[in-house]
Structure 1
Amino acid sequence: MSTTLRRPALSPSRAGDFKQCPLLYRFRAVDRLPEKPTKAQVRGTVVHAVLEDLFALPAVERVPDRARSMIVPAWERVKAERPEFSSLFATEGSDEEAQWLESATKLLDGYFGLEDPRRLEPESRELLVESELPSGVLLRGYIDRVDVAPTGEIRVVDYKTGAAPREVGEAKALFQMKFYALVLWKLRGVVPRQLRLMYLADRQALAYTPDEAELSRFERTLDAIWQAIMRAAPTGDFRPSPSRLCDYCDHKAFCPAFDGTPPPYPGWPEPDDTEPLQDRD
């Protein structure tokens, strides 16, 4: 089977990584160092899968009980696709796993507290979008949901399974949404009317309305990030930027800021590499 070869691209997550710590960007995007998935991250994957599948059902069937019944099948499918997730629990079918699945149920209940999916017909779910900016940087990402009104207005929806963030976390979430808005603007020639973040755990929704001037400024920000990446790419001079977030990093053992030594730099992936620089955001 032939493999589609893709150029290195910038995603919301990797752009955020570089802003937070250039060395973290290198570890994730270039070295591809493994990271141990957390129960919260995998639970988010399962909930996203259920919400994607929910909108494949006839509108009348998009009710809480049906969504709850889809959790276990979604979990089984996720494990089949990512076998390493099976190691999250020491014993399959344990009380711990049951409690974890129940916590996913509560997140879905939170979703239904924010909107009625029977009244919606999204244009797209889990939409992969790509656009090349005039500077040459290729933007790539996955959008949870795109709604298009009969009058043509676009709404970008993103589900968050963590708690609603404070100011710093909210800025990070809006960075991701502006990224999606910019790509859709480039692809469709229309600035999305609304960016909607849905925090299922807290049953809170944040709405934001971008404009062309703001997205143009954001485009320049992404260009600057990519140019900084390109300056470091030939030599691997991605430097650490220590912060409180280092406490949550899986790669501290390799970080010079903590007396670690990074692995040998593998070199910047060329456009014809078979392993694309992309991720699911």
Structure 2
Amino acid sequence: ELFEAQAIAQARAIIEDDATLFPGFRPIAMELPFGGDDSPFEFGGARIRGRMDRVDEGPGGVLVTDYKSGSTISGAEQFEKDRLFQPVIYAAAASHVLGRPCLGGIYRSLSTHDVRGFYLAGTVDTCGHGNAKDGLDDEAFSTLVESTEQRVRAVVHQMSTGDVSPTPGRTCEYCLAQPFCEVAR
């Protein structure tokens, strides 16, 4: 009962907070699917499918939010080091599905209400929940998307040659291969 009460309180708090987050934007989709058989989506040489937690529409484009239960979420400057692809892939997928420019991909911590990720500077107001380092100019935004696509392409190539060696890092905390991974033992 205590866990359920805490979960309900946490959900209420984030919903209230989200109502004023990203002024000028409005939610247009929840659990938006992409990459299905009817609308294939390719990024970095891989066909990808998934669901975006939330997509908002604002002046000039859309913004993707992915909710995370943990308190530690990464910003744009950590994507390569932490081997994170999701925010950039989801941003590209939103643009593909909706036919609108995507202004960024955001992680939203359910526990701390923090906002991290990447977005086009000057287009998104995080209402004090974000980090200014995540607002990128046009060139840095394009570079991040291109470098992420190159990183995905490299992983796809590595896997296509049969190399599925573990690459230890922060993602090991929630990797589904833990039960049989040599590194996790």
TM-score interval, smaller chain: 0.5 to 0.7
What is the one-letter code of the residue matched to 1:223?
Answer: R
Structure number with higher strand proportion? 2
Q: Which of 53, 60, 70 is matched with 1:162 structurally?
A: 70
- Pairing 1:238–2:164 present: yes
Helix, strand or coil at the partner of 1:213: helix
For the aligned residues, what is the CA RMSD? Answer: 3.5
SS at match of 1:144: strand
Secondary structure in structure 2 of the residue aligned to 1:103 = helix
Letter of the 2:66 counterpart: D
Aligned to 1:83: none
Gap change, CA 1:139 and 1:106, over 3 Å in 2? same
Q: Distance in 1 between matches of 2:148 and 2:175?
A: 27
* In 2: Cα distance, 1:216 partner to 1:244 partner: 23
Alpha carbons of 1:248 and 1:201: their partners in 2 closer, same or farther (altered >3 Å)? closer
Q: Does structure 2 retain, via aligned residues, the 8 Å contact 1:154–1:193?
A: yes
| Cα distance in 2 for residues equivalent to 1:244 and 1:221 | 17
CA positional deviation for 1:154: 0.8
- Work out the CA distance in 2 between the residues paired with 1:221 and 1:165: 20
How far apart are residue 202 of structure 1 and its match?
1.2
Query: Is it true that 1:128 corresponds to 2:33 in the alignment?
Result: yes
How far does the alpha carbon of each residue in 1:13-60 deviate from its partner, in whole angstroms, 9 at most, with x for none?
Answer: xxxxxxxxxxxxxxxxxxxxxxxxxxxxxxxxxxxxxxxxxxxxxxxx
- 1:103 match: 6
Cα–Cα, structure 1 residues 249 and 107, in superposed 2: closer, same or farther, change >3 Å? same
Q: Distance in 1 between matches of 2:179 and 2:69?
A: 29
Query: Which secondary structure state, in structure 2, belongs to the residue aligned with residue 193 of structure 1?
Result: strand
Structure 1 residue 106 displacement after superposition: 2.8
Matched residue SS, 1:201: coil
Which structure features the higher share of helix residues?
A: 1
Q: Supply the distance in 2 between the matched residues of 1:181 and 1:224 (Cα, whole angstroms).
A: 20
Counterpart selection for 1:197 from 92, 107, 110: 107
Shift of 1:173: 9.3
**Offset at residue 138 of structure 1 (A):** 0.5
Q: Which amino acid aligns with 2:180?
A: F
State the AA in 2 paired with 1:239.
S
Alignment of 1:218 with 2:137, yes or no, is no
List gaps (5 residues or longer) in structure 2: 36-40, 121-140
CA apart distance, 1:126: 0.2
The residue identity in structure 2 corresponding to 1:110 is A
106-115 vs 221-230, which deviates more? 106-115
1-structure distance, mates of 2:116, 2:168: 30
Q: Which has the larger radius of gyration?
A: 1
Deviations 1:218-254 (A, max 9, x none): 111111111111111xxxx533445687687675553
- Greater RCO (CA < 8 Å, at least 6 residues apart): 1
CA contact (8 A) 1:182 1:219 kept: no
**Cα distance, 1:99–1:241 mapped onto 2, change above 3 Å:** same
Partner of 2:159: 229
**So what's the TM-score if we normalise by structure 2?**
0.64
Q: Which amino acid aligns with 2:50?
A: G
Q: How many residues align?
A: 154
Question: CA separation of 1:240/1:198 partners in 2, compared to 1, >3 Å: closer, same or farther?
Answer: closer
Contact 1:199 1:205 in 2 (8 A): yes
Aligned counterparts, 1:33-72, within 5 A? none
Q: Report the alpha carbon displacement of residue 185 of structure 1 after superposing the two structures with TM.
A: 3.4
